[in-house]
Amino acid sequence: MSATSEAAPLPRFLAVDLGERHLAAGIVAADGTMGIRDRVVTPSRDPLDALLRLLDRVLAATPDDQRPLACAVSGPGPVDEASGAFRPIGMDRWHGLPIRKAVAERTGVMTMLESSGRAYAVAAAEGESVLALHLGDQVDGGVVVDGALIAGANGRAGMFGHLLVEPNGPECSCGAVGCLEVFAGVQSIVTQTGRDLISTPAALIDRAGIMVGRACASLAAMVDVRRIVVGGVLIEVFRDRFVDQMRSEFEERCRLSHLSDATIRVVQHHVLTGAATVARAMDIGEAAPRSALDI
Ligand SMILES: [Zn+2]
């Protein structure tokens, strides 16, 4: 790197993450350094208004030489490109709200939306190949091959929450039965138990680990990716008990010789890292998950 480029300020991006329990926003530099950031508890009413006020606060506190070049918002997928909205299955809070337009107008920078799972996959890949599952409010993820996130016909590849893992399982919010989401999605588990996630019975933690391990074995065989990563709040809470069950089931189910060195690693990111990586990819035009979007 030349002396000239070393002296230039790093590009900055506005990263936003929307969850059932939090709204987070912050300024993140191209090298991942976090700047001004803030978060609030997701309100039960008018979440878009609360989000825009959060962005106002973050931008008001941002020094002039750290103004963001672009913005990315991660949230409950899938994303509806035409309307610039999240359209999560079975979760009403963010469904159909015109997030992209509202954020772009408020901040004055090009804005794109990406599902939390796909954003996690882009960040976890670090430009290489990875199969990523994000176990948060939803079970979501993505497949990255040689740095490029697989899009799919509708830009929604990676909705791993709706993989069939138990043919006789309970009904999922999508209308099918036995989806991974029912067993390993935070919202599904909390709804089933009526308890906080931390109070989930051990049998359900074991079951979640088994189902995720089973799904990972099928996915590894399907896409021939050795590097599998999992992250999200479910693992933060369920910890070793979950991870042990997941790994054990994966090893039991994954018998293909060419995948004998496939591994599942737990990789946790800051809540804004996925969106920051998406924004950076959009700004520099490198293997962006989707084409950059007009508002
Ligand atoms: Zn489903």
CATH numeric code, 3-118+271-284: 3.30.420.40
Rounded to the nearest whole angstrom, what is the distance from the C-alpha of residue 144 to the centroid of ligand 1?
22
pLDDT digits (tens, 9 = 90+) for 106-139: 999 999 999 999 999 999 998 899 999 999 999 9
Q: Do domains 3-118+271-284 and 126-266 have the same CATH topology?
A: yes
Q: Output the 3-class SS for the chain.
A: CCHHHHHCCCCEEEEEEECCCEEEEEEEECCCCEEEEEEEECCCCCHHHHHHHHHHHHHHCCCHHHCCCEEEEEECCCEECCCCEECCCCCCCCECCCHHHHHHHHHCCEEEEEEHHHHHHHHHHCCCCEEEEEECCCEEEEEEECCEECCCCCCCCCCHHHCECCCCCCECCCCCECEHHHHHCHHHHHHHHCCCHHHCCHHHHHHHHHHHHHHHHHHHHHHCCCEEEEECHHHHHHHHHHHHHHHHHHHHHCCCHHHCCCEEEECCCCCCHHHHHHHHHHHHCCCCCCCCCCC
Rounded to the nearest whole angstrom, what is the distance from the C-alpha of residue 143 to the centroid of ligand 1?
19
The secondary structure of 70-100 as a DSSP string is: EEEEEESSPEETTTTEE--TT--TTBT--HH
pTM: 0.91
Rounded to the nearest whole angstrom, what is the distance from the C-alpha of residue 159 to the centroid of ligand 1?
9
Rounded to the nearest whole angstrom, what is the distance from the C-alpha of residue 274 to the centroid of ligand 1?
24
Q: In DSSP terms, which residues pair with 230 in a beta bridge? A: 133, 266
pLDDT value, residue 17: 97
Rounded to the nearest whole angstrom, what is the distance from the C-alpha of residue 172 to the centroid of ligand 1?
5
What residues sit around ligand 1, an ion, with C-beta below 5 angstroms?
162, 172, 174, 176, 179
Domain 126-266 has CATH 1.10.10.60: no
Rounded to the nearest whole angstrom, what is the distance from the C-alpha of residue 248 to the centroid of ligand 1?
24
pLDDT digits (tens, 9 = 90+) for 196-213: 999 999 999 999 999 999
Rounded to the nearest whole angstrom, what is the distance from the C-alpha of residue 139 to the centroid of ligand 1?
10
Rounded to the nearest whole angstrom, what is the distance from the C-alpha of residue 58 to the centroid of ligand 1?
36
Query: Please, what is the Cα angle at 70 between 66 and 46, to 5 degrees?
Result: 100
Rounded to the nearest whole angstrom, what is the distance from the C-alpha of residue 214 to the centroid of ligand 1?
16
pLDDT value, residue 289: 45
Rounded to the nearest whole angstrom, what is the distance from the C-alpha of residue 91 to the centroid of ligand 1?
13
pLDDT value, residue 254: 92
Ordered by start, the domain boundaries in the chain are: 3-118+271-284, 126-266
Max CA separation in the chain (angstroms):
63
| Contact assessment for residue 246 and residue 216, using Cβ atoms and an 8 Å cutoff | yes
Helix orientation angle between 273-284 and 116-125, rounded to the nearest 10 degrees? 70
pLDDT value, residue 284: 65
pLDDT value, residue 287: 43
Comparing CA positions, the residue from 282, 209, 291 lying closest to residue 14 is 282
Which token pair is 182?
């029912």
Residues of the chain with pLDDT under 50: 1-5, 287-295
